[in-house]
Structure 1
C-alpha cells in the first residue's frame, strides 16, 4: 500500500525537494496513515513537515481526547504539532450552515492561515479512494454537473491528497501491520449526514454487487477529470466571447451565448455563476437550468440563486450580481410633458428609457404591432403629462374592457412577480394610472380603437427592433 501511495504522490508532483508540508491530522485512521506516509517520504526526499490539528468543539471530552492523542503521537514521532480550538456549533448557528459544512470551512481556513504563515506551505489532507467514490455519488444524487462527477482532485491549489487512490481497507491493514492506534469519530456513524449514509448503506450494497465498485467509480471519475480538462479549455474560449465582467456585475451576452454547443452553454453558465457566487458548493444542475431558461424570459424577470446571487434578464442577456451588492435598478422619475410630445410629433422624444412619437394618419391603416418593446396607445385618452418611473404607492392599472382597475401591487402578486423584482420594473404612467408595465402588459383603458384619432407609439429603449 505504502509504495503505491508514494508513487501516486510523486506522479502528481505533490511534494518537491525543499517543500514545506502541513498535514491535517484529526487522529482518525486516514489522517494517521497520511502522517506515516509523509514520514516515509521524508526518507526519500527533503521537505519540512508540520501537523495541524483542529478541535471543533462538537464532541466534548471525546474530541479533546482525540486532540491529546494527536499531540502525544506527534511528540513520539518527532513532528511539530499545533492544535486549534474552535466553536463550530456557535459559528454554524450564526451563519445558518450545517455543522458539517461549517466545520469543513473553518478547518480549511485554519489550514490556509497556517500554510501562509509558513511561507506558502502545501496542505496535505487524508481523502482516500472511498471518499472519492462517495463524493461522486453524493454529487450524482444532488444533481451535479461534470465537475461533480470528476470527484476529488489529487491536487487543488496548495492542497494535496496523497492517499486519494488508496482504499480504506488498505489503510486499516497498514495501520494494523504497524500496530499504530487511531481514534474513531462517533459522528462518522451518524447517518443523518448524507455522506455518512452513503458510506454506511449505499457503498456497502454496491460493493456486494461488485467488489470493485469503489475502484470502478473512481476510474470513471478519473476519466471525467480528463474530459473536464478538455471541456474547460473550450469553455474558457467561449466565455471570452460570451461573458463580460464589470466590477461586481457579470454579463452573459445572449447572442454569442446562443451560438455555443449545448454542453458548452451549461459550462459557461457554471463558470459565470461560480464567478458571481465565489463558490460552487450549493450550486446544482437545477440552478444552471433555471439560469438558461431565463434567456427565454421577458426583460425585467429575475431569479434568486445560491450565495445571494441574483440573475436579471436584461436586453443584452443575463446580469449576475450578489444580493448584497445589487442596487435598485430604478430609473428614477422622468417627466414627459404632453406639450413636448406634441411639439416633437413624428420626430419623437425621449423620456427616460422610452422614446415616443405621435403617428401620422397613415398609421391607422397598419396592423397594431404585437411587439414586446413597442406599444401603441390612444393619445387622446391621455389627459396629463406622462412619467417614466418605477412603482409608487397607489399605482393601479386597468385590466379589462369594462374599465375595472387593479392595484399594481395586487397585479404583481397575481403574476407571481417576486417582491425584490417589483421595484426594478420600468413603468410608463399618467399620475397613478399605469399605461405600461414593461415586459408584462399595458392598460386596457389606453388601447387604441376605431374611435382613436391620434396614436402615441412608445418604444422601450432596451428592446430589439423586432421585439
Structure 2
C-alpha cells in the first residue's frame, strides 16, 4: 500500500517539501486509510498534516460518533483536528439542489476556508480507483466527451490531491483490517437510493460477474489512456485560443478564422471562451456548442441566447460571446452637462471650452475631441445612450438615418451599441462619441464661436 501510494504521489508531483496538507477525513475506510498512509509517509515526503472533518447533521448520533472517532484517531497520531457542523438538508432546501450536491458544496467550502485559516498548501481527498470507475460509468451513461471520461484527476488546481486514486477499495479495506484501524461504516453507502450507490452495489458487481472481473482497473486504464489524448488536444486548442480569441471584460471575440479549424479544436475554443466568461462550462451542453457554431455560419446579426445569461452574436463572421448581465442598462440614463465645469459621469469626464473662430485649432487632435458650431446650439446639453427610434444626421448625408443602421454600417458589435455615449443638443444627437458628428452642428464660414468637447474615460 505504501509503495503504491508513494508512486502515485511522485508520478503526479502531488507534494513539495514543507507542504502543509489538510486531509479530508469522514471516518470511513477510504479516508482513514488515506490519513494513516500519509502519516506513515510524512517524514519521507517532508510534509505536515492536519485533519478536516465535516458533520453533515444528517445521521444524528451516528454522525456525532464518526466525529468523535476521527478526533480520537488524530489525538493518537498527534495531528491537528478541525471540525465543522453544517445542516446539509437545510442547505439543500435553501439552494434547491440535491443533498449530495449541497454536501459537496459544504465540504469544499469548509476545506478551502480552513486552507486559508491555517495557511495550508494542499487538500488531500480519499478518492480511489473504484470511485474513478464509478465516475467514468456515470459519465458514459450521460453521454460525456473525452474530458468527462478522463474522470477524477489525481491533482486539480495544484491544490486538491488524491493519493489513493490507483488503489482499489478491496485493498483499502484489507489495509484497514490488517492495521486494526476499525473505520466507521456509513450505512447510507449500502443503500441503493443514489445513482452512484446503484452503480457501486448493482451495476459493477453485475459487470464483474458477467463480462469483466477486472472492470474497475479496466475503466481506470481507459481514463489514463484518454487523459493523454485529452491533454494533447487541450495544448493545441489553447494555442489556437490565444491566436484567434480576444478577451475583454468578461467578453470573448472569436475570429472567423478559428472556424476553419477542425471541429474538435473549434468546440474546445468555444468551451474555453465560455469558461473565461462564467468560470466553468457547467450547464453548457453539446447542443449549445453546436448552436454557437451554427450562429457563426449565419449572417451578420445572428443571435443566440444560452444558459447563465450568455449571449452570442455574429459580427461579420466574428463571434462575440458575453454575459448580458454585465451590460449596463444605459438607455434609461441621461445626464445634463454644464459648460462651465468638468463634468464627471461614472469613470468619464466631459470637458467644454468655448473659443472664437479666429483661434488656431487642431481639428484632427483625436477622435475623442470634437468641435461644434456654438452658434447653432440651443437648449440643454446632455449625455445619454441610445434609445429605440433614435435617428441621426451624419456628415455627408442629407436627412437623418436610424442610429441602429448607422451602427450596423460602422460594424459596431451588437453588445457594444448600448455602451457608446451620445452627446445631445436640445435632445438632438450631435456626436456619437468616438465616431461620427451631426451635419447640423458643423462649423461654417460664418460661425462666430466654437464649442470644443473633450471626452476622457472608457473607450468603447
- Report SS of the residue matched to 2:45: coil
Contact kept, 8 Å, 2:244 with 2:257, in 1: the verdict is yes
- Report SS of the residue matched to 1:244: strand
Q: Within 1, Cα distance between the matches of 2:92 and 2:141?
A: 24
Q: Within 2, Cα distance between the matches of 1:326 and 1:63?
A: 47
Residue 58 (structure 1) shift = 2.3
Q: Within 2, Cα distance between the matches of 1:72 and 1:164?
A: 26
What corresponds to 2:228 in structure 1? Answer: 226
Residue 168 (structure 1) shift = 0.6
Which piece of structure 1 moves more, 81-90 or 161-170? 81-90
- Report SS of the residue matched to 1:44: helix
Task: Say if 1:55 and 1:179 are closer, same or farther in 2 by CA, change over 3 A.
Answer: same
Task: Say if 1:140 and 1:174 are closer, same or farther in 2 by CA, change over 3 A.
Answer: same
Q: Within 1, Cα distance between the matches of 2:238 and 2:402?
A: 40
Q: Within 2, Cα distance between the matches of 1:329 and 1:269?
A: 29
RMSD: 2.8
Residue 328 (structure 1) shift = 5.3
Is there any run of 5+ residues in structure 1 with no aligned partner, and where?
357-372, 375-389, 391-420, 425-467
Task: Say if 1:187 and 1:206 are closer, same or farther in 2 by CA, change over 3 A.
Answer: same
1:343-370 CA-partner distances (Å, limit 9, x unpaired): 946xx864212159xxxxxxxxxxxxxx
What corresponds to 2:405 in structure 1? Answer: 354
Residue 286 (structure 1) shift = 3.5
Q: Within 1, Cα distance between the matches of 2:281 and 2:202?
A: 27
Residue 231 (structure 1) shift = 1.0
Q: Within 1, Cα distance between the matches of 2:32 and 2:261?
A: 48
1:129-164 CA-partner distances (Å, limit 9, x unpaired): 011111122222223222211111111121110000
Contact kept, 8 Å, 1:54 with 1:83, in 2: the verdict is yes
Q: Within 2, Cα distance between the matches of 1:247 and 1:323?
A: 12
Task: Say if 1:190 and 1:327 are closer, same or farther in 2 by CA, change over 3 A.
Answer: farther
What corresponds to 2:219 in structure 1? Answer: 217
- Match runs of 1:29-68 below 5 Å: 29-68=29-68
Q: TM-score, normalized by length of structure 2?
A: 0.70
Q: Within 1, Cα distance between the matches of 2:78 and 2:208?
A: 39
Q: TM-score, normalized by length of structure 1?
A: 0.69
- Give the count of matched residue pairs: 353
Task: Say if 1:12 and 1:291 are closer, same or farther in 2 by CA, change over 3 A.
Answer: same
Residue 318 (structure 1) shift = 3.5
- Match runs of 1:228-307 below 5 Å: 228-253=230-255, 255-297=256-298, 299-305=301-307
Contact kept, 8 Å, 1:291 with 1:311, in 2: the verdict is no
What corresponds to 1:370 in structure 2? Answer: none
1:20-66 CA-partner distances (Å, limit 9, x unpaired): 11100011110010001101102423221110001122222222221
Q: Within 2, Cα distance between the matches of 1:294 and 1:328?
A: 25
What corresponds to 1:386 in structure 2? Answer: none
* Divergent runs of 4+, >4 A: 326-331
